[in-house]
Structures are given as structure tokens and as C-alpha cells.
């Protein structure tokens, strides 16, 4: 692989990680709004579905080591692998898009 492509993969992985943190934060903040003020159950369920979709590589990796005694290092490695999978996918799609436009 070429260096610019690897830089794009790492950039997209970082952007994916930041977007994932932002989505988690939005879900956390919205879940603390009392239902009497605003009923956001449907929105929270939709955002949870989006979060589960974007975390599917990590969930597949976590099934390799089921149970409550999963080491913390394994969870961090699964998060890094998840970010890299999405980074590779997004960088590949960007490369295909650029080649198709030429």
C-alpha cells in the first residue's frame, strides 16, 4: 500500500473514533433529559441503532472472548481494530470515488 493511502486510513480511523465519541456523548446527554420535558425515546432508539451498526466489527471481535472477565486490553484492541476497519473502508470508498470521477 502506498503511504498517502495509509495516511488516509489513519485519518478516517481518527475521524471515525471522534464521531463515535460524539455519538456516545449525544446519546448520554439526551438520555438524561426527563421524559416529562421531552419524550426522546424514539430518537434514542434510532441513535442506539446507528451506534450498533457502526460498532459491528468490534462486537464481532468481542464475541471471540465472551464473559465478564474480558481483559481491558482486549476491549481497547477491539476498539482500535474497529476504527481501522472503518478507516480502511472509508479510505477505499474515497479512492474508488475519485477514480470513478476521472
CA dihedral sign, ordered 60, 65, 22, 31? positive
**The pTM is what?**
0.78
Residue percentage of the chain with pLDDT more than 90: 43
Is 55 strand, coil or helix?
Answer: coil
pLDDT of residue 68: 67
Domain ranges of the chain: 3-101
31: which residues sit within 8 A by CB, 6+ positions away? 40, 44
**Percentage above 70 pLDDT, the chain:** 95
pLDDT band at 26 (very low <50, low <70, confident <90, very high): very high
d(CA 99, CA 44): 38
Q: Which long-range contacts (CB under 8 A, 24 or more apart) does 5-12 make?
A: 5/91, 5/95, 8/87, 8/91, 8/94, 8/95, 9/84, 9/87, 9/88, 9/91, 10/87, 11/87, 11/91, 12/86, 12/87, 12/88, 12/90, 12/91, 12/94
Tell me which residue has cell 460498532.
55
Q: What is the pLDDT of residue 74?
A: 79
Mean pLDDT calculated for residue range 24-39? 88
Q: pLDDT tens-digit profile of 60-101? A: 777 777 766 777 787 788 888 889 999 999 999 999 999 998
Amino acid at each position: 500500500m502506498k503511504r498517502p493511502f495509509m495516511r488516509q486510513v489513519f485519518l478516517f480511523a481518527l475521524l471515525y473514533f471522534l464521531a463515535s465519541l460524539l455519538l456516545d456523548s449525544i446519546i448520554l446527554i439526551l438520555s438524561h433529559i426527563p421524559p416529562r420535558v421531552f419524550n426522546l425515546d424514539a430518537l434514542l432508539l434510532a441513535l442506539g441503532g446507528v451506534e450498533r451498526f457502526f460498532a459491528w466489527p468490534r462486537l464481532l471481535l468481542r464475541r471471540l472472548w465472551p464473559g465478564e472477565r474480558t481483559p481491558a486490553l482486549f476491549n481497547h484492541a477491539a476498539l482500535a481494530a474497529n476504527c481501522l476497519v472503518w478507516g480502511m473502508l472509508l479510505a477505499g470508498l474515497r479512492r474508488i470515488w475519485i477514480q470513478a470521477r476521472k
